[in-house]
Chain A
Amino acid sequence: MATKFININLKIWRQKNANAKGSLESYKLDKVSTDSSFLEMLDQLNEQLINEQKESIAFDHDCREGICGMCSLYINGRAHGPDTGTTTCQLHMRKFNDGDTIYVEPWRSRAFPIIKDLVVDRSAFDRIQQAGGFVSVNTSGRTMDANAIPIPKADADKAFEAAACIGCGACVATCKNGSALLFVGAKVSQYALLPQGKVEAQERVVNMVRQMDEEGFGNCTNTGACEIECPKGISLENIARMNREFLFAAAKSE
């Protein structure tokens, strides 16, 4: 692991607030360690801006371990940057070369309005979840023993893979239609695959899809871009499973 230092140029989207007009601003940043993460590079730039008594760049982040789903960023035209299977916080500067010009923009999607600079509002995802992304079980301490219902390992594993979605929104940002189907499909699938989720399966899918439409997400035209950019490898299979669930629910209600 040989550490190198590179000098880079950055073109970063700056926008004062939701209503202001934004633009791409240019910055030069020297001596960036190739072991730094992309966000550590932005920290370094912010430090430089503050030393020049300028306003730092706002971007979302928290865990920096690829799990909270808070970080975002369109980097050189790709959601979460050039690496696959990675969030922006887990992208490292060794993926870039000395002298590179790097474009950094926020998620762009009708359902994710910009708040400031690189920060967007993804609360539409929370509202979809509130519409049906749960099993209606109250806290009681009197549910049945956890081992009362054996679940085939294959189903449990698949449910887990779907549940691994971090709610980052890369799938929406990368989709030319701004569809949220991969996100919703993953949640619907997790529950559809488990006996605990089956009871409410029909209402769930109908309610979540209704909320998704209300939030202004686009339609799915099967381009598959979402699966490629999803940092957690959520598979298109989940969209297919959700469509089946939805058709089944629709057929039943007629």
Chain B
Amino acid sequence: MSILDSKIPAGHISEKWTDHKNHLKLVAPNNRPKIDVIVVGTGLAGASAAASLGEMGYNVKAFCFQDSPRRAHSIAAQGGINAAKNYQNDGDSVYRLFYDTIKGGDYRAREANVHRLAEVSGNIIDQCVAQGVPFAREYGGLLDNRSFGGTQVQRTFYAAGQTGQQLLLGAYSSLSRQIGLGRVKMYHRHEMLDLVTVDGKARGIIARNLVTGELERHAAHAVIIASGGYGNVYFLSTNAMGSNVSAAWKAHKKGALFANPCFVQIHPTCIPVHGTNQAKLTLMSESLRNSGRIWVPMKKEDAEAIREGRLKPTQIAEEDRDYFLERRYPAFGNLVPRDVASRAAKERCDAGFGIEANDTNEGVYLDFSTEIKSKGKQAAYALGDHNPTEEKTIELGKKWIEEKYGNLFQMYQKITDDNPYETPMKIYPAVHYTMGGVWVDYNLQSTIKGCFVAGEANFSDHGANRLGASALMQGLADGYFVLPYTVSDYLADEIRTGKISTDTPEFEAAENDVKNSIEKFLSNKGTKSVDFFHKRLGLIMWNKVGMGRNEQGLKEAIEEIGSLRDDFYQNVFVPGDSNEMNPELEKAMRVADLIELGQLMAIDALNRDESCGGHFREEFQDSEGETLRNDEKFKHVAAWEYKGMDIKNSVMHKEELNYEFIKIAERNYK
């Protein structure tokens, strides 16, 4: 039997969560202040969890490596957050959101978790509005919605192109209130460098004060890890520079299984790579696909002329443009899910139709001219002008675009020096989100007792591909509406434990391990920077564990990452001291973990002999280039157990996925 018990409650899918909540144990209010909870991370998942647990009366300590909890990477989310409110009366429901998410995830997510997510989605919007989150509204004063990929309803709530910012500032305000009341103690500029377990239970962490360099021991009755995703294993991604896997990876090394590491989302609409000194990639929100049409030239010679600067996109006649998503997927058109859109763009570029003048010619157009004309016309009508001039139409259309997407257009122009109101945007897929993460059961508890994992750091809800606007929903669902119940259930058995001491051999050993690895880096006689190795890792990952994967490439990647790791430990140079602020040391510690993770991702990808969602194995595709899933053999979660430094020794455990309420089918967007 599998060692994995998902603890999915019995009963009908729509009753499971309610029923489960009714039977979870509680901690009485007078006992809560005697119980300590550590929350690592202050993104949507961490901030909402810390605030809610603080409100309940627990003694909370929250950690983030930035200089303020408000700066967690969630702040950068642009497009929106889903909720099954059906405010637009277009047939949305909890069931549909549930169904879309399971299908979007290519039938590799757990039904019960996803249904719970859909159930609480409406509450999230209510909670945020009550906090004063200024969502976009219509003229009647009610909330506005838009569409995201993989759905045929409008269920996405947004605040211009800054939805993550507004939601995080909402959670941060609740967190700030608890900090002000003394119920949460905030440790900013602190980095968790190890998880401490005692008798198989998570009992605390070792953290480094990033200002003084001091190592600190923090004890607690439960530890929640909400440290975000690991997209930066590719070096170039849309993630913030500091995003990393270390907190999750330390838990993994202490016994938490790591699930589906190879499930990575490559987002179709990002600004293409410009040069070798580039540090990160910038996303152009999926919401733009509501208004933009994706195309490349129909003729190779036109694509070539564009790359050489002899032709401009605006000079290509309508009939010479290939709107390849509309052509291949008429039912969803430009709003197919991300994995599908990304692969289609890669296919066109590999075939020689790419339009970007960089080393790889990788780029396609995202064109707003059709929308500018149609919205301009509508606006003119609304103003009573039924016969607007072309000029007037375009002017009004641009105004409409500016109101919806102004900040994104401005960002694009700043970065590329091109004006997207006049000429189509150039875009290309980039690494964006990681569906894989620490394995958790229905209660969001990992295989280490008392160690809970939330937000992008866990693997739970998105299967092999996440739908747009669902990560924000999941982060807040976990933090506001799931963890307060499930963590309390665990803590109910801890009320007699008493204060946990940090003066124990377990804390001592963990601190010494951290101290040793810091000393090792600082005394190394290398010559190369941490970034040098990180970039090399990124290239291996992108080329061989990226959008298209095959057996040979993956085998090579596993070996190459192994040697890269040896090279890194021998030749990296980390300047500065341990007892001061030292950004290079911080990076070195993170890259060490990313290298191990990268190898596990390649192993997982090699193991999964099928294509599903974001995991595209070139050997497994049909004649039209669509993914070929293998439900017979791979309808499971692959959860890996750490077995020491050599990642090749990791052992895989399966959690079989059962679909009782949704009929598993081919994923078709045609």
Contact = CB atoms under 8 A, between A and B. Distances in A.
A6 to B, nearest CB: 13
Given A67-B162, A144-B130, A126 B176 contact: yes
Contact of B67 (A43, A49, A122, A137): A122
A24 interface: no
A167 B411 contact: no
B298 interface: no
A14 interface: no
A138 B573 CA distance: 48
A62 interface: yes
A130 B68 CA distance: 12
B392 interface: no
Given A33-B277, A63-B240, A126 B177 contact: no
Given A146-B129, A160-B160, A36 B169 contact: no
B173 A133 contact: yes
User: B66, B85, B180, B411: which has the most chain A beta carbons within 10 Å?
Assistant: B180
B531 A47 contact: yes
A55 B576 contact: yes
Contacts of B279: 37, 39-40, 43, 64
Interface of chain A, main secondary structure: loop
Contacts of A159: 132, 134
Interface in A162-190: 163-164, 166-167, 190
B411 A65 contact: yes
Contacts of B75: 63, 67-69
Interface string A82-98: 01011000101010000
A139 B127 contact: yes
Interface stretch (A73-81, A113-121, A212-220): A113-121
B66 A70 contact: yes
Contacts of A33: 274-275, 277
Given A90-B414, A122-B68, A126-B69, A153 B137 contact: yes
Interface string B398-422: 0000000000001100111110000
Given A116-B580, A135-B130, A160 B177 contact: no
Nearest to A56: B584
A62 B132 contact: no
B132 A191 contact: yes
A115 B209 CA distance: 13
A121 to B, nearest CB: 7
A130 B179 contact: yes
Interface in B183-230: 186, 188, 211
Contact of A43 (B173, B186, B277): B277
Contacts, number: 234
B71 A143 contact: no
A50 B582 CA distance: 13
B275 A35 contact: yes
A156 B136 CA distance: 7
A135 B137 contact: no
A53 B415 CA distance: 32
A249 interface: no
Interface string A192-213: 0010110000000000000000
A243 interface: no
Nearest to B276: A33
Interface in B235-255: 240-242
Interface stretch (B24-32, B140-148, B441-449, B634-642): B140-148
A64 B529 contact: no
A131 interface: yes
B123 interface: yes
B33 interface: no
A140 B417 CA distance: 46
A156 B68 contact: no
A138 B55 contact: yes
B529 A160 contact: no
B120 interface: yes
B417 A1 contact: yes
Size class of A's contact patch? Answer: 35 or more
Given A135-B130, A146-B126, A153-B137, A62 B66 contact: yes
B87 interface: yes
A1 B275 CA distance: 13
A92 B76 contact: no
B176 A130 contact: yes
Contacts of B162: 67, 164
B474 to A, nearest CB: 16
A254 interface: no
B581 interface: yes
Nearest to A1: B417
A62 B531 contact: no
B132 A190 contact: yes
Given A135-B131, A137-B131, A150-B140, A69 B71 contact: yes
Contacts of B127: 137, 139-141, 143
Contacts of A67: 75-76, 162, 164-165
Interface in B139-183: 139-143, 159-160, 162, 164-166, 169, 172-174, 176-177, 179-180
B66 A68 contact: yes
A132 B179 CA distance: 11
A63 B275 CA distance: 19
B583 to A, nearest CB: 5
Given A62-B71, A115-B581, A156-B137, A134 B282 contact: no
A191 B211 CA distance: 33
A92 B177 contact: no
B138 interface: yes
Contacts of A157: 134, 137
A75 B517 CA distance: 37
Interface of A: 1, 3, 16-17, 33, 35-37, 39-41, 43-44, 46-47, 49-51, 53-56, 58, 60-70, 83, 85-86, 90, 92, 94, 115-116, 119, 121-123, 125-126, 129-141, 143-147, 150-153, 156-157, 159-160, 163-164, 166-167, 190-191, 194, 196-197
Q: Which 4 A-B pairs have the closest CB atoms?
A: A150-B141, A130-B180, A134-B173, A160-B134
Given A86-B414, A141-B481, 20 more contacts: A16-B580, A41-B277, A47-B531, A50-B575, A54-B575, A63-B240, A65-B76, A69-B68, A126-B68, A131-B180, A137-B174, A139-B51, A139-B481, A146-B122, A146-B129, A150-B141, A153-B141, A163-B159, A164-B165, A196-B129
